[in-house]
Structure 1
């Protein structure tokens, strides 16, 4: 597993352990603080909510491994314009079709579609179908 996954697992484990300790300590809170059970439960819920929001905020603001990867420079000028078939496949991608659905509609094998997509990605300078759609929109290939 990746390091970030282990850190996340350890973080949640530590949070669970700390919460259990707090629950044990708060078991005596109604007697010491003269709180009712409802107020004690509400306090625990608020603390857990705040901790969860902090963890989510920290995770959202942390750069992901995809952000640090170097971008592939567009190779459109070198690879030439898109063929009619590549434009057709791009339109089907934009419609949300899977490789299998595209192959069935164009009456070719799924491997042929994968080859077309690899060539399409190379021409657009991307590595994934979502990036290909974003780049095609950026270039105005969808009319």
Structure 2
């Protein structure tokens, strides 16, 4: 099978024809719009008024309801954290456990040794009365330590 080689003249013709087709399509769309605007003027005005009221309603609604719901910052229940004796580093490890990360991933994220992560996890299990990661996560959420 023989392949055709493209030449600069061929590209010029292709661009010229593409431009002419695009202009013709735009002209046909514009003429169709002009016909539609003349024959359906009442519906067109009604659509414009509806769009204006929609924009006004969204604007007014956004202004009225903007101040109603302010999300409160999650404090992590410092009373429960203090009463259980959970340190800040253990809380960071607990958050990573809840995110589903492995010990190696937690160690890399917190820049600590994997053995340190294991120590924190064991300490968390003891403090939360958990036997596995899911138990620790569930118990921490019940106590309000995790969002």
Structures share a fold, TM > 0.5?
Answer: no
- Normalised by the length of structure 2, the TM-score is 0.42
The higher radius of gyration belongs to 2
TM-score, normalised to structure 1's length?
0.43
